[in-house]
Amino acid sequence: MLNYSASEENYIKAIYRLQRQDGTVTTNELAHELKTKPASVTDMMKKLKAKKLLHYQPYQGFRLTQEGGKVALGIIRRHRLWEYFLAEKLKFTWDEVHEVAEDLEHVSSKKLIDKLDEFLGFPRVDPHGDPIPDANGRIEISKKIPLTELPLNAAATVSNVKDQSNSILELLEHKKISIGTRLEVKKRFEFDESLELKIGRQPAFTISRQLAENIFVTSPRPALKQRPESLTALPDGEGKRNK
């Protein structure tokens, strides 16, 4: 198994995330995503192409090869397992785990990551509800809908947060909403499209439509598994952070 530098892995992961939207990625898009210069992106694209990780033609955009996709899924697997470990075992809050996992994801020992997965009990999702690829690069995908689409008085479980910025996570903590929270939408207000929620025996409370659009809940449909080579996109509810 080849080892890649932290910089190369950051590029691979960013390309994987961006190509979910358009199928191909431009130099300017990637430069903006990574906060670097287009010339630096061009140099890295040549390196990744030489390693057969990238389909790249100047001025025509680029996308990962099948091998590049596998490498990206490996990075994502490491990141999300470390997030789970930090939250479940070291009791980091869910708005703290991302930055630490950004460093730990570059520890590329397959034996270590497989042992970590086993130690954690083979978790399926990270603390934000994003699916964790298994050792073969497969991701379990469950049907998720935004809270804004949940019928009134239908019980559902929070399974994912789309925008994982610290400000959103802080607000959710304040509202006592986390992954696994069971809730119901009791009322929708026409004036500002806010929602009244009920969680267990707590008093009902209201959240904005903007917040509700970032909360995804589970559907009763069974989960599906897809092969890594078909994963040009992750589920719609997956978080915005580059992980």
Domain boundary among 141, 165, 185: 141
Segment 145-157 shows an average pLDDT of 93
**Domain membership flag for residue 104:** yes
* Residues 88 and 111 placed together within one structural domain of the fold: yes
Mean pLDDT of the 31-44 span: 93
Name the token pair of 200.
Answer: 């267990």
Q: Give CA–CA dist 142/223, Å, rounded.
A: 4
On whether residue 51 sits in a domain, the answer given is: yes
**Interval 38-43 mean pLDDT:** 93
pLDDT digits (tens, 9 = 90+) for 94-121: 888 999 999 999 998 999 999 999 999 9
In a domain, 43, yes or no: yes
Three-state secondary structure call for residue 14: helix
The two counts, helices (H) then strands (E), for the chain are 8, 10
Indicate whether 31 pLDDT > 60: yes
Task: Check residue 83 and give its pLDDT.
Answer: 95
Q: Residue 86's pLDDT is what?
A: 96
Total of domains in the chain: 2
Secondary structure element (H or E) that encloses residue 205, with its range? strand 205-207
- Residue 71, pLDDT > 90, answer yes
Output the pLDDT for position 56.
Answer: 84
- C-alpha 152/C-alpha 154 separation (Å) is 6
Q: What is the pLDDT of residues 193-238, one digit of tens each?
A: 999 999 999 999 999 999 999 999 985 544 444 444 444 344 444 5
- The 3-state DSSP class for residue 197 equals strand
Does one domain contain both 87 and 71? Answer: yes
pTM: 0.76
Cα Rg of the chain, angstroms: 19
* 67 neighbors 52 (Cβ within 8 angstroms): yes
Whole-number pLDDT of residue 227: 44
- Cα–chain center distance at 164: 9
> Does residue 230 belong to any structural domain of this protein?
no
Same domain, 45 and 23: yes
Return the pLDDT at 139.
85
Last residue of a domain, one of 105, 120, 141: 141
Does 183 score more than 80 pLDDT?
A: yes
Q: Supply the range of the domain harboring residue 186.
A: 144-218
Q: Are residues 26 and 45 in the same domain?
A: yes
167 and 96 in a common domain = no
Nearest CA among 51, 66, 58 for reference residue 19: 66
